[in-house]
Structure 1
């Protein structure tokens, strides 16, 4: 039994695109490859549960404008780059 070991998610996804075998990765990492047909979904009934993305900061009391701006930027960036993420977030998945 042979396999491949990588330590970076985009390399892992590229191994799947190159035909190394079946992979399991977050939808946001696979979205464009599924859309352009480079990857196809198999074992659809075996999806892992969604995992949240969190931004942690010390306190909401006197929240620095920079922190608020960063949280807004991350949310907008995810919505722009990963529409699937936004759909899951708003549907409560």
Structure 2
């Protein structure tokens, strides 16, 4: 069984009036989430996945700045994934 952590974030990319939902999966089966190293590795994986899902490396034409929507997407995706990770960690601590 593949264990993944899925995070959702809302961001407006194309039209200001419409929102696009982005999602990503982060593999954590190989990590010891009880250890500091395992938790740090998971946070790094979440960061990389959120950057990719929100196209964080992409810049607006003529600028080195990221759009506000891209920054918001990235921050919300990381926060959502971290919240889901905390729930997984708590569930494991309680024997789940």
**Normalising by the residue count of structure 2, what TM-score does the alignment of the two structures yield?**
0.33
TM-score when normalising by structure 1 = 0.34
Considering fraction of residues, name the structure with more helix: 1
Choose between structure 1 and 2 for higher RCO, CA contacts under 8 A separated by at least 6 residues: 2
